[in-house]
Every structure is written in C-alpha cells, then in structure tokens.
Chains A and B, each alone.
Chain A
Amino acid sequence: MRYVDEYRDAQAAARLAEAIRSRVNRPWTVMEICGGQTHTILKSGLEELLPPEITLVHGPGCPVCVTPVELIDAAVEVASRPGVIFCSFGDMLRVPGSVRSLLEAKARGADVRVVYSPLDAVKLARANPAREVVFFAVGFETTAPANAMAVWQAARQGIGNFSVLVAHVLVPPAIEAILSAPDCRVQGFLAPGHVCTVVGYREYETLAARYRVPIVVTGFEPLDILEGLLMVVSRLEEGRAGVGNQYRRSVQREGNRAAQQIVAEVFELSDRRWRGIGLIPMSGLKLREPYRSFDALARFAAGPAPAEESRECIAGLVLQGLKKPPECPAFAVRCTPESPLGAPMVSSEGACAAYYLYGRREVRG
C-alpha cells in the first residue's frame, strides 16, 4: 500500500533508531498523545528499538478510554429503548458502563450496530423511517467534521428520525491538564497527526510556549513515530521548546478550513468530564442551538446521570502518565480485558490493555 508500506521499512527504522541513539545524552520522558500512535508503538515493538534513556508514556488520546461513564450509561439506556437502532464505531461497544456495556445491551436484545462512517447511520435512518436511529458521536477533532457533516446533511434532508449522542473531546485541553499537574513528568509530546490534519497546530504553539515544552506533530506509521521522536529528542537536547511538524505530508499549520467550518457550524465548546480524570472545562463539543433537535439525550430524555466508576480503577493516573498499569493493585488480577474495571483495559490502545496484551509477558530473550 502506497504511503503505508514505505513507512514500515525495517532498514529505515533501524537508521532512525540509530540517529535517536546518537542524539540522546540524558534521560527524557516523552508522551505520545494519540491512541493510534500507541497502537503502532506496541504493535511494532518500537520501544525495543529505542535507547534506554527514552521513556515513553502513553497519553489519554483514546476517546474510548476517556468517554465518561455517564455517557456510556446514557448510550446503553437509549439503545435499550424499543424501536431504536443504535449505531456506533466498533471500539466503543466493549466499554463498561456502571451496569453494562453496549455489547451486553445487544446480548439482551438492543439493536446495536457497528458502522464505519456516521453517514452510514444517516443512510440507515433514511431507510428505516419508522425507527429512531441514534449515532454515538465519539472521537477527537479528527472525527468531529464527519459527525458534523452527518448532522448537517440530516438537517438538510429533513431526516427527523436521526439523532446523535455527542461525546466529542478535544486534545489541547487534555494536554494542558497534564502539563499543569504538579507532578507532571512529561518533557516532550508527540501530537496527534490526524487531529492536526483537521485543526492545524496553532493551538499547540500556544501551549508549547506557555509551558516551554517541545511538541512535534507526528504521524502513525513506525517511521513517522521514530522521526517524530528524533525531532522531539533533538529539541529536548538543545533546550528548544515550540512546535515541529513531522507529518508534513498531511498536516499544515492552518489545518483543513472546510472541515473546521462544518464543525463550527454544527458544534460549540462545552465542558466535558473525562473518565478517570474528571471535569476539564471547554474540552468537549455539544450541538449548537440550530441543531439541538438532533441531540439524542434531549430527544430521549436520557442521562447523563451521575455515574459510578469502579473505586479500584486508577485510570486517571494512568491516562496522565503518572502511574504505569502494573502499579495498579487490580491490574491483571481483578482487571483484565475480559472483565475490565475501567476503560484503559478495554480498548487495545488503552495503556492497561496494552501492557496486559503486549508487555506483561517477558519478550526479551
């Protein structure tokens, strides 16, 4: 596959790893923010190629992991209503709510369906006028334009039986929450390349300046991550804060204007609770007034009600990079992928699931 395979070349990876090794003089802690980047790092065993001075911390860039429990509960409640077709991206279905996940709701008779695009949900609504079709609009800024477009098209086509359960989260407020924590150990960041494809990276320049850290916008293939790390480490060694752009084949500083416009038309900022972290002001999206009729929570008079998270789950500390999953007493004992206590054990990008699947057993030797 073009623009994919070349970025997985073993020799090139070795060369970049060598370049990182010769650049590094001191230990550095770097966080990659996006779950997709975490996935690549783990799937390719990239950490094995890096010098021991570099510690990678997996950030909260996994919308599956950070969707608040109360929204999962609301999703389950709406999905369980008779006549509802509940559509979602696949990753969300296993996330545990206070009582059950969407998958378990499906086992109990709810019509829950996996879709690849929000437009598929709109199509379903058109094809099933007697049913209410609800789409779980989860994701970072990468997915917001597609979800906004779905709502906008539904509005234009007068599709009255379509609604969205909005759970969008934004990346910069999360980075700020991490950076402003008193015990923050992260010294540099790999920023999510596809989020920045949409929104550009001006907001990251502000953050980098305020907290005096280097942030490198990075892609998702192994060579991207290695090049991004090389750029971050170079800046760290030189004491240079600010933003670099590794993912230049896709990202421009201004981002994608058309995509930003549709998001601004359909959504506006809102406070959002992040599972395991808590409330981060203005870190989420909600429907703007002209589109409120598409809000599933309003239409079904459902949640979110204050919800219980497992007391044992230290997801918040893990998501902020303050603890590693094996430091959690429940890890691999009471909390496993088959019976997760919190979201980072559910998604394969979640730090806990990643440690469980990829790192728990001895790989070396």
Chain B
Amino acid sequence: MCLAVPGRIVSILDEEDSALRRATVDFAGVRREVSLAFTPEAKPGDYVLVHVGFALSVVDEDEAEKIFEELRAMSEIEEPEAGGSP
C-alpha cells in the first residue's frame, strides 16, 4: 500500500507526548490533520510525505531539485547537436 502524497505543514499542534504531535498539512488547498509521530523533526513550512494520515518523511528539497538539474544538464548536452547551420 503505497499511496503517499506530499503536503506542506501549515501549523503544528505540539503535545507533550511526541506520539500525539499533529500538524495541519496543506495539499494544494485541501487541509488535513496529519500525525507527526514518525517525523519529530518536522517544522512549519516543511513538505512531508503523508500516508494514511501519518507523515512518513520530510521531503529533502535539495535532493528533490537534483533530478531537474540533471535534466537541464542533459538538455544542454543535446542542444549543440540539435539544429544545424544558423
């Protein structure tokens, strides 16, 4: 069962008991309450991956960007080959 969706933490409801810590997470305008029991390091503004009501990880934004850097690098390599004479 693998459907997990990334959303942005809007606000956090801290509890003394970290197992009960919850957040309001925004998914493109839809808000849901999500348990942060497994992501104690999460803070407002972070993107978390949510599965069946629980945040499983905080999205590593630098890593997330890398595929697009690589793709841009790929297209730079392609361009000199594409197009012949001006």
Direct contact of A and B (CB under 8 A): yes
B2 close to A194 (CB less than 8 A): yes
List 27 interface pairs A-B (beta carbons < 8 Å), by A numbering. A1-B6, A1-B27, A2-B28, A4-B5, A4-B6, A15-B74, A15-B78, A37-B2, A116-B53, A118-B52, A138-B1, A139-B1, A140-B1, A142-B4, A149-B35, A194-B51, A197-B49, A197-B56, A198-B56, A248-B60, A248-B66, A256-B38, A258-B37, A258-B39, A258-B40, A259-B38, A259-B56
Interface-centre pick from A19, A194, A262 (highest chain B CB count, 10 A): A194
Instruction: Chain A residues near B60: list those with CB within 8 A.
Output: 248-250
CB distance from A95 to the nearest CB of B (A): 13
Mark contacts of B41-75 with chain A using CB atoms, 8 A cut-off: 1 yes-contact digit, 0 otherwise: 00000010101111011011101101110010011
Mark contacts of A89-103 with chain B using CB atoms, 8 A cut-off: 1 yes-contact digit, 0 otherwise: 101000000000000
Instruction: Chain B residues near A152: list those with CB within 8 A.
Output: 19
Number of A-B contacts (CB under 8 A): 116
Residue in A2, A35, A138 whose beta carbon sits within 8 Å of that of B2 in the complex: A35
Mark contacts of A14-37 with chain B using CB atoms, 8 A cut-off: 1 yes-contact digit, 0 otherwise: 011001000000000000001111
A142 close to B68 (CB less than 8 A): no
Query: Which A104-146 residues have C-beta < 8 A from chain B?
Result: 116-120, 138-140, 142-143, 145-146
Instruction: Chain B residues near A89: list those with CB within 8 A.
Output: 1, 52
CB distance from B3 to the nearest CB of A (A): 6
* Contact residues of A: prevailing secondary structure: helix
B67 close to A223 (CB less than 8 A): yes
A142 close to B2 (CB less than 8 A): yes
For residue B29, which residue of chain A has the nearest CB? A1
A146 close to B28 (CB less than 8 A): no
Tell me if A192 counts as interface (CB < 8 A to partner B): yes
CB distance from B65 to the nearest CB of A (A): 9
Residue in B1, B53, B78 whose beta carbon sits within 8 Å of that of A63 in the complex: B1
Instruction: Chain A residues near B38: list those with CB within 8 A.
Output: 145, 256, 258-259, 262
Interface-centre pick from A6, A258, A262 (highest chain B CB count, 10 A): A258
Q: Which 5 residue pairs are nearest across A and B when measured between Cβ atoms?
A: A117-B53, A36-B2, A139-B1, A249-B64, A3-B6
A: contact size bracket: 35 or more
Bound form: Cα–Cα A143–B38 in Å: 12
A249-B61 CB under 8 A given contacts A116-B53, A145-B38, A146-B53? yes
A15-B56 CB under 8 A given contacts A149-B19, A193-B2, A248-B66? no
Instruction: Chain A residues near B59: list those with CB within 8 A.
Output: 3, 249-250
B interface, CB within 8 angstroms of A: 1-6, 8, 19, 27-28, 35, 37-40, 47, 49, 51-54, 56-57, 59-61, 63-64, 66-68, 71, 74-75, 78
Instruction: Chain B residues near A34: list those with CB within 8 A.
Output: 2
A116 close to B52 (CB less than 8 A): yes
Instruction: Chain A residues near B1: list those with CB within 8 A.
Output: 35-36, 63, 89, 91, 138-140, 142-143
A146 close to B57 (CB less than 8 A): no
Tell me if A310 counts as interface (CB < 8 A to partner B): no
A119 close to B2 (CB less than 8 A): no
Bound form: Cα–Cα A6–B59 in Å: 14
B71 close to A197 (CB less than 8 A): no
Bound form: Cα–Cα A195–B3 in Å: 10
B37 close to A143 (CB less than 8 A): no
B8 close to A197 (CB less than 8 A): no
Bound form: Cα–Cα A85–B75 in Å: 56
